[in-house]
Amino acid sequence: MNIRVEKAINDQIIKEASSSQFYLAMASWSENHGLNGTAKFLYAQSDEERFHMLKLVKFVNERGGKAIIPALEQPPVEFENLENVFELLLNHEIGVTESINNLVDICLQEKDYSTHNFVQWYVSEQLEEEASARSVLDKLKLIDGDKGGMYMFDRDLEKATVLAAPPTSATTKA
């Protein structure tokens, strides 16, 4: 496997694993603040990020490279409020999108078209995740801390949560 592409995917593995940890911390905070629907949504997001990481691990190994499982920094324990949680989540996703775009660039520079093709799945996934984070944040801004609104928001988010299935190989859809 092309060394530069392998390194860029290993860097992306760190990002996906960190996303999973970050969202897990947000889920746990939400659960401790009585926001069970939000917690369910964020636990599912955390699982999804882990699947994104796994897909990359499997891809590198299946291509004859070596996936590196990283040590991770501890995510925050406290958040200001729910709006702050989703602002952080959106900003985090914007950063991950930049990193995926960088990976796409490297694939093109190295003429690694099969990895480029594989990475397109992440390009669309990032579009969806940014859109979803923006729409949740817009709702929270509308509610503006109203208790009744927060109750409905939390209940709606629980209903909207679809748990992701784990990939069995790099080419299986997560």
- Contact residues toward ligand OFO (CB under 6 A) are 16, 19, 49, 52, 93, 96, 125-126, 129
CB of 129: closest distance to ligand OFO in angstroms? 4
Closest to ligand OFO by CB, 1 vs 164, is 164
Task: Report d(CA 81, CA 145) in Å as an integer.
Answer: 9
19-23, Cβ contacts within 8 angstroms, sequence gap of 24 or more: 19/46, 19/49, 19/52, 19/92, 19/93, 19/96, 20/46, 20/47, 20/49, 20/50, 20/53, 21/46, 21/72, 21/73, 21/74, 21/75, 22/75, 22/88, 22/89, 22/92, 23/49, 23/89
Q: Which of 148, 134, 16 lies closest to 83 in space, CA to CA?
A: 134
Closest to ligand OFO by CB, 5 vs 119, is 119
CB of 96: closest distance to ligand OFO in angstroms? 4
Closest to ligand OFO by CB, 133 vs 140, is 133
CB of 42: closest distance to ligand OFO in angstroms? 12
Closest to ligand OFO by CB, 20 vs 30, is 20
CB of 68: closest distance to ligand OFO in angstroms? 17
